[in-house]
Amino acid sequence: MMTSKMSNQSSDFTGVVNKDDIFIAVLGLAGSGKSSFITECTSQDATIGHGLASCTTTVSLYSYDHVDRIGKKCKVHLIDTPGFDDLERSDVEILQEVMFWLSYAYDNGFFLNGIVYLQSIAAPRWTAASQRSLEIFKALCGAQNYKSVVLATTFWDTIAEGDDEAQERYKSLVDVHWKDLKKAGSHIQPASYGYSWATLLIDRIVSKGTKHVLQVQSEMQIPGANLRDTTAGQTAGELWRLDDDRKEGVLDLDQTREQLLTHWSRKVQDDMTALTQQIEALRNQIGGNEQQQYRIMSPPPPYSHLGKGSEREQEEEKRLLRQKAKDLDRVKQVKLASYGMYVNTAAMVFGGTAAAVAVLSLLACNVM
């Protein structure tokens, strides 16, 4: 593990990602409240409505100027990760993307200051999915990094006062499931929704002022290593073999580091192209762009009837289209912020290192 004190150099808060900024990964099972936590911290809506997929289906980066309890200001970047047991994506695909992000972060000198791991206290029982998620999380981190972890229980606002079952679930988390994490220095915090509790968790990580290399990041640097060679890959493989719905994913752990980076870099480029086309198609549909460059959108736009009905109905449909375009643009910017911090990826997406550097100065923190 690498642990170093942060530089005392102050940030100019221009929106450029700086290696001395604070980077905090937010992990947890799907539905554990990651997006709500990030929204509380950043005042940026980390969930996208209007029928669009949530940003949390991919690794996304949200940034803001954090002010601690003594008034000190710093730039914080929260990395929102997709949770395992997601209905939209397989666990192996999620693990691959998290590993891709962590590998590129390591290659380009961006290291985490800490990790927030969320668990819903409203979940009626500890499930096999809960156990899988926790075991893979621990394998990604490595026991030497447990002290950089904040474990928080969410959805206490949905629990009735005096609910003994919820208290028993919390006690079981602390005394059984999180016992080794707690013993190794992880901080455990029952949390309610609101800006104060969210920033309290961030303060705890910021105040330590240390950077960490996760176990999986070190393991992926070994020449010729593939996902199966890492502790996280081995742990996932052992767990998935016991599950009929996941055992096929074990074969995908044979990807080498180079294959992983190539595949996901190409996917980033494809995502950017698809989002750009969808945004332009929406703008063209509402008359925002007279040059009809992009006429293909998936799924097909359900608004070919625009122009019919009353004027009020037309205006409402246009308003909804504008909102969809804005939401898609936010998805694109969040993805760019997540991957654009790595010049290699940005150069690939935007065509050359010079273009990438120019884009980096516009991204990172100024998400719509």
pLDDT over threshold 90, residue 96: no
Q: What is the pLDDT of residue 16?
A: 57
Token code pair at residue 279: 């945004």
* DSSP string for residues in 247-289: GGGGGGGG-BHHHHHHHHHHHHHHHHHHHHHHHHHHHHHTTS-
Mean pLDDT computed over 138-147: 96
Distance (Å, whole) CA 118 – CA 152: 5
Beta strands 73-80 and 22-28 are parallel
Give 169-214 pLDDT, tens digit per residue. 999 999 999 999 999 999 998 876 666 788 888 999 999 989 999 9
Strand partners, 74: 66
Place of tokens 């819903």: 120
Give 254-297 pLDDT, tens digit per residue. 777 777 777 777 777 777 777 778 777 777 776 643 343 334 34
Distance (Å, whole) CA 25 – CA 114: 7
Percentage, residues of the chain above pLDDT 90: 23
Average pLDDT, the chain: 74
Max mean pLDDT among 10-24, 168-182, 214-228, 326-340 falls in: 168-182
Give 318-367 pLDDT, tens digit per residue. 777 777 776 666 666 656 655 554 434 333 333 333 333 333 333 333 33
